[in-house]
Chain A
């Protein structure tokens, strides 16, 4: 089992460019999440998907879109990147039964 995988690991963008962060899990989990982590601010929820076919906003959704492609995959898209979106992005999943979240290794994104 690979658990939760994320691509890419690192990315540098220029202001205004777009990109998609990919996330996949092989644990047959129902719920998937996207967080961003900034120094001193902990993890903040961007979007989540409670089950295949549904997505909902978290605390900081502005500037992002998501797609739950199937039960395994949940992608995060930045349509027009801004320097304020420089952060480390984590994808997570949970079965919904025991509630503990399993996290991917993260994507470190820099927007110049």
Chain B
């Protein structure tokens, strides 16, 4: 059965304290893995797409990486404005119109 698991469920960091969020997946025939940011009361906002193991993407303080079993979202020297819920989603080659989401990691960065 296809599964997407995110850990931890919640993460509290001090401003400037770097860390990583994990998204592990058991999906046959991965076409793409996506990271989204969701602020309270809003819809998810796209961050990155990763297609193959070894691929990395960066945007400001965020870097996403992908292996054959998991993806990491590394947050370097976070700021309070990075506080949000981060969601990952996977897409299979077979029926690529469907996306499977994890339950998210709620990040709180304290000043």
- Footprint of B on A, CB under 8 Å? 4, 31, 33, 35, 40-45, 48, 50, 56, 58, 90, 92, 96, 98-106
Contact = CB atoms under 8 A, between A and B. Distances in A.
Contacts of B34: 99-101
Interface of B: 4, 6, 9, 31-32, 34, 36, 41-46, 49, 87, 89, 91, 96-104
Contacts of B4: 42
Contacts of B98: 45, 48, 58
Contacts of B45: 103
B97 A106 contact: no
A111 B71 CA distance: 37
A105 B32 contact: no
A56 B101 contact: no
Given A31-B97, A99-B49, A100-B49, A42 B91 contact: no
A20 to B, nearest CB: 19
A33 B104 CA distance: 19
Nearest to A49: B97
Nearest to A100: B46
8 closest residue pairs by CB, A with B: A103-B43, A42-B103, A43-B101, A100-B46, A42-B101, A50-B97, A103-B44, A90-B43
Contacts of A104: 43
A41 B103 contact: yes
14 contacts: A4-B43, A31-B97, A42-B102, A43-B44, A43-B101, A48-B98, A96-B97, A99-B31, A100-B46, A101-B44, A101-B99, A102-B46, A105-B42, A106-B42
**Interface-central residue, A40, A43, A103, by most chain B CB under 10 Å:** A43
Contacts of B89: 43, 101
A42 B104 contact: yes
A31 B99 CA distance: 12
A67 to B, nearest CB: 18
Interface centre among B49, B89, B99, B102 (most CB of A within 10 A): B99
A99 B91 contact: yes
